Amino acid sequence: MHPYLMGLRLAGRRVLVVGGGAVAARRVPAMLAAGAAIELVSPQVSAALEDLASARKIHWTRRPYQPGDCKAAWLVCACTDDRAVNQAVAQEAEAERIWYVRADDRQESAAWTPAQGAAGDIRIGVLTGDPRRSAAVRDALLKSAGSRTEVPQNKGTVAIVGGGPGDPGLITVRGRELLGQADVVVADRLAPRSLLDELAEDVEIVDAAKIPYGRAMTQEHINATLISRARQGKFVVRLKGGDPFLFGRGAEEVLACVQAGLPVIVVPGVTSAVGVPTAAGIPVTHRGITQDLHVVSAHVPPGDERSTVNWAALAASQGTLVLLMAVERIGPIAGTLIRNGRAPGTPVSVIADGTLPSQRTISSTLENVAGLVISEGIRPPAIVVVGEVVSVAARIAEITELTRGVTVTPGRQTG
């Protein structure tokens, strides 16, 4: 017979979980998010569950299941890899008239755990005979639920959303959800603009692109647009590239909005300073090579009175340098680093159009990179990585070529 579907309010209610392996590690966080008081019974547990127990977010009884453990529970989850133990737990729960889930045998469970997810205040749970099918249906419903809906509580609100380094698949789930609810979207040039095509036709899109050495919408005009549209009772999403608080002037926009008395939501994003090197196979830190990372805005060159960067200190450091907006000033930057102590042969990579299908990487050394950037016609947007971690990427590529292993490409894996 088909199960009767119901949502359980677990806040403050005791939930017994027997078993500390992979299944428990998946189920416990979701029940904690629902406010459940988790009693975990198992001789050993996974590292994630041990961490929750150490933080006193769950209570761990470090022993095997014993008869009587189910008493006073509202819900019981039998998650061990021993069928006999799971059956004993289920029998006790049944006798105590407590709802129970058996991870090893859904047909013997009094309750089933659906494939579930959330889109805003919408919770979706799907039950079928096949868990993979349930997950696929859930994902389709979540995508549909994430499309534009009326959200009265967000009216008159501004959301500052980090869109990630470029690939539209790298925006956060929360960011995409809010984008789908927008009445107005104010979009940067480096934001994942292909997502705008998914918006309803009546969504107003304001182009806030700032083209290097070209036309630009002033920051004051952007701030005024956010405020005026929100004061009209609209939900305004400011879609930015990368993370809004890393050289993104997001905090300036937040300040302008809160000073105008408007509620603001801030959604972090994957910063290009880390996401782009990763997409190119470059680890910005690596054990035994570097313990520090310096992210630098190089929109003005060394020696410019507007610069606040201590280039001499950066040159003396052995850490990784990730330089943003540096392509057109790479010659003066490289020269300054060399004069202040960085070895001329220090490996350098320049990644253009990071995470996009047009992504392109060139590798050189500090003394030669400026010439190579010119000869290869590298243009912004691009990320410059200086340091020995570039050699790690080269080693990964070398081994990959020799073994025909997995190669890292923007947002994809190919064999």
- Indicate the domain borders of the chain: 14-113, 116-145, 152-270, 274-410
- Residue 265 burial (CB count, 10 A): 16
- The pLDDT, as a whole number, for residue 413 is 34
Separation of alpha carbons 65 and 277, rounded Å = 48
Estimate the crossing angle of helix 250-259 against helix 219-231, to 10 degrees: 40
Note the maximum CA span of the chain.
79
CATH, range 274-410: 3.30.950.10
- The pLDDT, as a whole number, for residue 106 is 85
- The pLDDT, as a whole number, for residue 152 is 54
Q: pLDDT per position in the chain (415 positions), as tens?
A: 788 888 999 999 999 999 999 899 988 988 998 999 999 999 999 988 999 999 899 999 999 999 999 999 999 999 999 999 999 999 999 999 999 999 999 889 999 988 888 776 778 889 887 878 988 898 888 777 765 555 556 899 999 999 999 999 999 989 988 998 899 999 988 888 888 877 888 899 998 876 555 556 789 999 999 999 999 999 999 999 999 999 989 999 999 999 999 999 999 999 999 999 999 999 999 999 999 999 999 999 999 999 999 999 999 998 999 999 999 999 999 999 999 999 999 999 999 999 998 899 999 999 999 999 999 999 988 999 999 999 999 888 888 776 654 444 444 333 2
Cα 324 → chain centroid: 20
Which SS3 state, helix, strand or coil, does residue 24 take?
helix
- The pLDDT, as a whole number, for residue 280 is 94
Q: What are the Cα distances from residue 216, in Å, to 162, 189, 329?
A: 20, 10, 21
Which SS3 state, helix, strand or coil, does residue 157 take?
coil
- The pLDDT, as a whole number, for residue 201 is 81
Tokens standing for 215? 């036309």
CATH, range 14-113: 3.40.50.720
Separation of alpha carbons 9 and 19, rounded Å = 23
Closest by CA to 297, choosing from 322, 314, 318, 269, is 322
Homologous superfamily of domain range 152-270:
Tetrapyrrole methylase, N-terminal domain (3.40.1010.10)
- The pLDDT, as a whole number, for residue 415 is 29
Question: What is this structure's pTM?
Answer: 0.78
Separation of alpha carbons 114 and 173, rounded Å = 20
Q: Is 230 exposed, middle or buried (0-12, 13-18, 19+ CB in 10 A)?
A: buried
**Torsion angle of the four alpha carbons 157, 191, 253, 327, in this order, in degrees rounded to the nearest 10:** 170
Q: Residue 381, preceding bond cis, omega within 30 degrees?
A: yes
Query: How does 386-395 read in b/e, with b if 16+ C-beta sit within 10 Å?
Result: bbbbbbbbee
Among all residues, which ones are annotated catalytic? 188, 210
Separation of alpha carbons 161 and 178, rounded Å = 8
**Torsion angle of the four alpha carbons 281, 286, 288, 291, in this order, in degrees rounded to the nearest 10:** 140
Closest by CA to 242, choosing from 133, 351, 160, 128, is 160
- The pLDDT, as a whole number, for residue 384 is 98
